[in-house]
Chains A and B, each alone.
Chain A
Amino acid sequence: MIQSKYHRFLTGAFASLASIAVLAGSAAAQQAVNKGGTLIYLEQQPHTNLYPPAGGFYPNGGVLNQITDKLTYQNPKTLEIEPWIAESWTVNADATEYTFKIRPGVTFSDGTPLDAAAVAKNFDTYGLGNKDLKQPVSEVITNYKGSEVVDPLTVKFFFTKPSVGFLQGTSVIGSGLVSLKTLALPFDALGDATKIIGSGPFVVKSEVLGRELVMEARKDYKWGPAKLAHQGRANLDGIKYVVTPEDSVRIGALLAGQAHVIRQVQAYDEKQVQSKGFIIYAAPTRGVNNSVVFRPDNPLVSDIRVRKALLHATNAKEIVATLFSANYPQAKSIIASTAQGYVDQSAKLAYDPALAARLLDEAGWTIGPKGLRQKDGKELVLQAYESPPQPQNKETLQLVAQQWAKVGVKLNVLAGDAGSRVADNLDPMKTPVAPAMVGRADPDVIRSQYYPTTRNVLMQKGGVSTKVQNFTDGKLNALLEEIAAATDPVKRLALVGEVQAYVIDQGYTIPIFEEPQAFAASPKVKDFTFEAVGRPSFYATWISK
């Protein structure tokens, strides 16, 4: 059938990444845009608090990306920062002062102007937090000092130390601009989507908490990112978000024509969707790969030889082939091949059980009577909690456990409730191993992932956890600090390359695969696009007849 061949071609092309925007653009050129209609979108989980800096959670980002605009737009293809609400900007030499010129005539959906004062108030809140209203600071804004409204359309930001990541930080989901009325509400009121007043192409019209959300296009919207092909108001009249937790019901509803787009399609369901002529969109998240990390504070994995042995005992290729699909490329470094500053490390990541066994022998871990390695009467038994938001994470860890068992190391995969998981994950003695992943299209993501005072995946001393005894890696932290401070983009990317090599050389992380955000859509849905790390954008989307 011609139809299905075309779709297979299309899907294959999508899987080959990066070309999403181009393809969607050329497909649109062949057919006249059909305006109007309501798109039905099925989400797996209800959104939580919609305070924009908490937008990292994908269900939140899916809502916020439609209703808020950002100061700048990160082109998902080139990853360059382009104008959006800011028409232009300047940065001083040591990246401690940023000046933005605001586009005139932009309003929030409550009618108030989106001007320099509003932008200043947004970033003052995200950069410093608001204790009275319990609004926390944003992860992506570091060293923030304050703002100055130069004139109604010019705003200036000051930083205590160089903050190179700030420009990209203004483009991310967590930096969505909201009305002063929204910022005046306490944090605990922002779980109600109708209270989030943005300037975006859609406005939340009504919501049934935890169940569904109706958005309407803003008729007077005319300030989309300047370089986008689509301009003016959104093509759709509205979007209806429906929370449908059950996988089979989401897929069944899509195939039965009751929905247009669904989020979260597991790899094993892809064939079923594609065989019916529907399209899988696997948007890259361009950040830190889906990985297994060690907490060297735990004496069991404090020896580099043990960590490297387990790295070589892990067969990422088998994991991808067994559990995933072509949309989940095998990792070649700790960050995705679509991430900025990526350097191929695959030569150091080879699956080599013989080498693994030798390294463990050298480290003094010998095979005991039960087939388990032991040293001084202690067995090499490790634990890790599964991470439910990551695709098939339990299965992934179980497969890793099987692979490690072949060299005499036991990995217990724990399920546990959220409370125990969070608490135990802060204690390296309880979790010498942990799964990790984060999406963000800026070199800063690598610093954020490893630095002690941020995500601190290796559980170094100096972070949130009080359980860490003494593990710190001064060399790694110095490199990470340099990334945050380097103002020269070339040098910054070189540092990112150095960190990748260093982390692998130390055996801190075992990268498994590049994680996509998987969506499925009806073939009638056109120009369905994504921001740089895989959150859906329905601004240009339309439904063909």
Chain B
Amino acid sequence: MVRYLLGRVGQALAVLALTFTAAFLLLQVLPGDAIMIKFMSPDMGLTADQIAEIRASYGADRPLWERYFTTVGNFLTGNFGISIQAGVPVSQQLATNLPPTLLLASLAFAAALILTILLASLSNMVGMEWLRAGLQSLPSLFISVPVFWLGIMLIQIFSFQLGLVSVISPGPVEKLVLPVLTLAIPISAPLAQILMRNIDQVLAQPFVAVARAKGASRNWVLWRHVARNAIMPTLTIAGVLFGELLAGAVVTEAVFGLSGLGGLTYQAVGNHDTAVLQAIVVISALAFVTINLIVDLLYPVLDPRLGSRSGAPA
């Protein structure tokens, strides 16, 4: 188990290093850079010589390999550089923007899970066929609703029309209600779709018929036997969906005017703010790797068959 864990952590680190390098190279390939966008824009009215001096002062005139190793060194010592557009250290931006996004993303993820389980269990417990069909088609609706439209609608209805929550100067909890909902709905959709289909598949398997024949109630079978078997693929998708969560956060944060990594990314992409983007890519990769590691480690817990395979010597 320890060897397995070490191997997985090693893999994760390799992925991080590759992501860092790929991001660095790709950001260099893009036409123009942050210094050019900021200082060559006519608003600054600088001359060619002044711009050349500024480029030199940021080290932008150095060869690519030198800048790469400088950046690696800086990252390893916790120095993420400076946002040229915003005029503040990237670490200061991250300190402001990382916690709210983590909070929003984890709450939205939790809400999405609750919504998924609610939908899946309701649609399997309801007796009436038409209601069951209605509930089962909800995820398809959720998946096709654009996040920005949903956000704007929720704001228009609950804040501007009904006046239930304030969007501009909300309290700490009030601030999160609508954004969490906006983000949770599209995330819950694919989860619910997969969970529902898997429940149907598992229900069709012979052991369910056996359990029912032995006298178990439908709900008992659903919770004790079916749910556990149906949840595995859902978990895999949940790990992958984290990316969706970040993408959704960009839109949600823009619509609700929340501070967070989403808004920061949006601004940084627009201005080719390389240092900011490099830091965001590394953080996202770290989050991806961590979540997938957790998911992988959870498999053997949920399904003992997997545990014995990875744990036992081959």
Contacts and interface: CB of A to CB of B under 8 A. Distances in A.
Nearest to A389: B43
Q: Which of B85, B155, B160 has the most chain A CB atoms closer than 10 A to its own CB? A: B160
Contacts of A418: 32, 37, 270-272
Interface in B263-286: 263-264, 267, 269-272
Interface stretch (B109-117, B251-259, B287-295): B251-259
B167 interface: yes
Contacts of A426: 40
B147 to A, nearest CB: 12
A521 interface: no
B258 to A, nearest CB: 7
B116 to A, nearest CB: 28
Interface in A229-265: 240, 242-246, 248-249, 252-253, 255-256, 258-259
Contact of B264 (A189, A210, A255, A256): A210
B96 interface: yes
A190 interface: yes
Given A42-B168, A57-B43, A256-B160, A249 B270 contact: no
A249 B96 contact: no
A191 B259 contact: no
B159 A453 contact: no
A211 B86 contact: no
A209 B168 contact: no
B156 interface: yes
B313 interface: no
A246 B254 contact: yes
Contacts of A259: 168
A447 B30 CA distance: 33
Taking chain B's interface residues, is the majority helix, strand, or loop, or is none over half, making it mixed?
helix
Contact of B155 (A249, A417, A423): A249
B304 interface: no
A49 interface: yes
A413 B45 CA distance: 25
B263 A210 contact: yes
B15 interface: no
B25 to A, nearest CB: 15
Interface stretch (B48-56, B124-132, B188-196, B197-205): B48-56
Given A139-B45, A242-B169, A249-B167, A50 B87 contact: yes
Given A48-B87, A54-B44, A464-B40, A423 B32 contact: yes
A464 B257 contact: no
B39 interface: yes
A134 interface: yes
A208 interface: yes
Contacts of A54: 43-44
A258 B158 CA distance: 13
Interface in A174-230: 187-192, 208-212
B259 A189 contact: no
B231 interface: no
B45 A419 contact: no
Q: Which of B47, B53, B271 has the most chain A CB atoms closer than 10 A to its own CB? A: B47
B93 interface: yes
Contacts, number: 166
A208 B86 contact: no
Contacts of A242: 168-169, 257
Interface residues of B, number: 59
A420 interface: yes
A137 B50 contact: yes
Interface string B34-69: 001111111111111011011001100000000000
B43 A244 contact: no
B51 A245 contact: no
A312 B138 CA distance: 56
A455 B272 CA distance: 22
Interface in B77-128: 82-89, 92-93, 96-97
Interface in A428-482: 438, 448, 453-457, 463-464, 466
A243 B159 contact: no
B47 A453 contact: yes
B243 interface: no
B10 interface: no
A39 to B, nearest CB: 12
Nearest to B84: A188
Nearest to A132: B57
A253 B31 contact: no
Contacts of B39: 136
B146 interface: no
Interface in B17-36: 30-33, 36
Contacts of B257: 211, 242-246, 249
B11 to A, nearest CB: 33
B45 to A, nearest CB: 3
A192 B270 contact: no
Nearest to A451: B45
Nearest to A55: B43
A258 B32 contact: no
A242 B83 CA distance: 21
A131 interface: yes
A511 B115 CA distance: 56
Given A242-B257, A419-B33, A256 B163 contact: yes
Contacts of A129: 50
Closest 6 pairs (CB-CB, A-B): A191-B87, A419-B32, A139-B45, A49-B87, A211-B259, A455-B42
24 contacts: A48-B87, A57-B43, A134-B57, A136-B39, A139-B44, A188-B84, A190-B87, A191-B86, A209-B86, A210-B93, A210-B97, A211-B259, A242-B257, A245-B254, A252-B156, A252-B159, A258-B159, A258-B160, A419-B32, A421-B32, A422-B37, A422-B40, A423-B31, A453-B47
Given A40-B168, A136-B50, A418-B271, 19 more contacts: A53-B44, A188-B88, A188-B89, A191-B83, A192-B88, A210-B96, A210-B264, A211-B263, A212-B259, A244-B168, A246-B257, A256-B160, A256-B163, A418-B270, A418-B272, A419-B36, A420-B31, A424-B31, A464-B40
Interface of B: 30-33, 36-48, 50-51, 53-54, 57-58, 82-89, 92-93, 96-97, 148, 152, 155-156, 159-160, 163, 166-169, 254-259, 263-264, 267, 269-272
